[in-house]
Amino acid sequence: MELENNFILERFNPDVLREYDIRGIVNKDLTANTAYSIGRTFGHIVCSKFSEKKIAIGYDGRLTSPSLYDALCAGLLESGANVFSIGLCPTPMAYFAHYHLKTDAAVMVTGSHNPP
């Protein structure tokens, strides 16, 4: 997967990092550059701990998800991760892909239970 990268690695608000997810208001707390920075960081962690460096990634149907997904993928790829795109899908598909593709990690870009 090749993506044009116009993103910058940036320091972002650490309050978006939660115990088990990342949350924030799109284009305020979570920008494309934030997603890129998180992708680079998460990708480096996965690459340092796993030899195959495989990460499955999908996104939901919200209008803002594709741009965050593209930025996150760019960061993951630049970190050296092998990205398996599962595209537009429901959240359970990320778990399914992680199991069946035998990836080291899976990421789902979603607004969770919040309205589109």
Interval 32-83: pLDDT, tens:
999 999 999 999 999 999 999 999 999 999 999 999 999 999 999 999 999 9
The structure tokens listed for 62 are 């919200």
51: annotated active-site residue: no
- Residue among 111, 114, 105 at smallest CA distance from 39: 105
Rounded-to-integer distance, Cα 48 and Cα 64, Å: 30
The structure tokens listed for 82 are 């092998």
Query: How would DSSP label each residue in 9-50?
Result: -----GGGB-SSSB---BTTTB-HHHHHHHHHHHHHHHHHH-
Q: What is the pLDDT of residues 19-32, one digit of tens each?
A: 888 988 899 999 99
How many CA atoms, within 13 angstroms, populate the side-chain half-sphere of residue 111?
Answer: 12
- Residue among 85, 88, 91 at smallest CA distance from 113: 91
Domains of the chain, CATH where assigned: 15-109 (3.40.120.10)
More confident residue, 97 or 12: 97
Rounded-to-integer distance, Cα 102 and Cα 113, Å: 27
pTM for the model stands at: 0.89
